Amino acid sequence: MAGLESILSEINSQGMALVEAETAAAEKKAAKIKAQGDEDAASAYEEYLLQAERKAELESAAVCSAADAEAKRAALSCRSECIDKAVQTALEKLSKLGDKEYFDLIVVLAKKSMRSGSGVIQFSQRDLKRMPSDLEQRLQQAAKEKASQITISKEAADIENGFILSYGLISENCSFADIVDAQRDAVRDLAASVLFG
C-alpha cells in the first residue's frame, strides 16, 4: 500500500505540477492578450481622439467661414444702403438747389448732351414756372459751340427735375434720377470711394 500511495502521491504531484504549469501558461497568455487588448484600446482611443479633433476643427472652420461670409454679406448690405442713401441725399440736394445754381447746372448738363442739329429741350412744369429769363439765351450760346440750335418747349415734361433733350426721334432723358440710373455703377463706385475710402 505504501507503494501505491507513493505512486498516487507521485501522480498527484505530477498532476498538480502540470495544472500549475498550464495555469501559469494560461495566465501568461491571458496577460499577453489583456496587454494587447489594452494597447489596441489605447490606440483606438488615440485614433478616436484624433478623428474627433479633426472633425471639431473642420466644424469650427465651417462655422467660422459661415460667420465670416455672413459678416461680409452684412457689411456689403450696409455699404450698399449707405451708398443708396448718399445717392438719394445727393438727388434731394440737387432738386433743392436755388434757382441760379439749379439752372447753371442745367446749362452744364445740357451742353454735355447736345449734338449738332436742331434740338428741343423740355422741362418739368415746376421748372417752366421758375425758369430765369436768360436761360434760353444761355442754352443757345452753349448750343453754338456744338453746332446745334436749341428751342425750349412750352410743353412740360413728365419729370421731377432736369430736362429731356430731343433731336428729331432721338430723346435723351436727363432728369437727375435718370442720369443717376444710367450711371448707377459709376455713381455707386464714386459714392463708395468717398464714403469708405
| Integer Cα distance of 165 and 110 in angstroms | 8
CA-wise closest residue to 157 among 121, 110, 124, 109: 124
Q: Are strands 148-152 and 117-122 parallel, antiparallel or unpaired?
A: parallel
pTM for this prediction: 0.57
Sign of the alpha-carbon torsion through 121, 179, 92, 158: positive
> ∠ at Cα 94 (173, 78), nearest 5°?
95
Instruction: Look up residue 145 and give its amino acid.
Output: E
Q: What are the per-10-residue average pLDDT scores of the chain (197 residues)?
A: 70 74 78 81 80 82 79 74 77 85 93 92 94 93 90 93 93 88 73 69
Q: Would you state the cell numbers that stand for residue 65, as one nine-digit string?
A: 467661414
Q: Would you state the cell numbers that stand for residue 73, as one nine-digit string?
A: 454679406
